[in-house]
Each structure stands twice: as structure tokens, then as C-alpha cells.
Amino acid sequence: MNMETLELVLRVLLVLDALALIGLVLLQQGRGASMGAAFGSGASTTMFGSVGASGFLTRLTTYLAIGFFVLTFALAWSAKARNEAALDLSLPKAVAPAAELEVPVVPEESPADAAEVPEAP
């Protein structure tokens, strides 16, 4: 799986997690909403029983929030890796000049050739 596909999957999962987290927070009741249940307002006929869904919804909200942060960090990591890969491609590779040029072979001078060269005045 290449980096673009991984980022796309992470983004889709992040958006779905964020939408689920928003919906779940909006479904939860405020702190004062349980006052009517204390006086027997028919809370025992709800889907989660007389205790209500507060424990389940709180736990699910916690898991979704942890998932949101994990996905966000994974997206940040993939963006950093993609940025480093782009920097590696944009900079030219430094090549030593000696590796490109062939050095001509100079024949060794014999002591007789050295005697023929006049010295500088």
C-alpha cells in the first residue's frame, strides 16, 4: 500500500470517527436531565433500563476520542514521511567531481628527463 492510499484511508476513518463522536456527544443527556428519573418518570422502560445509557455512552465516547487522537497522530506521521520523501526527490544528489572525471595517467619521469628540465632563474 503506497503513502497516498494510506493517507486516504486514514482521512476517511478520521472523518467517520469525528462524525460518530459528534453524534454521540449530541445524544448524551446533560447532568440535570436525570432529575426526572429520580422521581419515577418512566425511565425503566428505556432501551438501557432504569440506569440509562450513561455508562455505555461515556465508554463509547472515550473509545471514539482515543481513536480520533490515534488517527490524527497517524495522519501527522504519514504527512511527515511524505514530506521527507518529497525533500529527498527535490534535492540533487551530491556527486564528487573526481568520480565523474577520468584522471589521465602521467608517465613517470626518469632521472635523465629531470636533468633536461632547466631550473627557474
> In the chain, where are the structural domains located?
1-26+53-91
The answer on pLDDT for 114 being more than 90 is no
pLDDT tier, 88 (very low <50, low <70, confident <90, very high otherwise) = confident
Percent over 90 (pLDDT), the chain = 30
Higher-scoring residue by pLDDT: 5, 89: 5
pLDDT tier, 2 (very low <50, low <70, confident <90, very high otherwise) = confident
Note the pTM of the prediction, 2 decimals: 0.56
Please compute, for residue 18, the number of CA atoms within 13 A of its CA located in the half-sphere on the CB side.
9
Q: What is the pLDDT of residue 75?
A: 94
Under a CB-based contact definition with an 8 Å cutoff, are residues 61 and 21 in contact?
A: yes
Closest to 74 (Cα-Cα) out of 28, 19, 5, 6: 6
The answer on pLDDT for 66 being more than 90 is yes
Q: What is the pLDDT of residue 73?
A: 96
Q: Which residues of 38-72 are buried (b: 16+ CB within 10 A; e: fewer)?
A: eeeeebeeeeeeeebeeeebeebbeebeebbeebe
Q: What is the pLDDT of residue 85?
A: 78
Q: What does the pLDDT look like over 13-30, one tens digit per residue?
A: 999 999 999 999 898 877
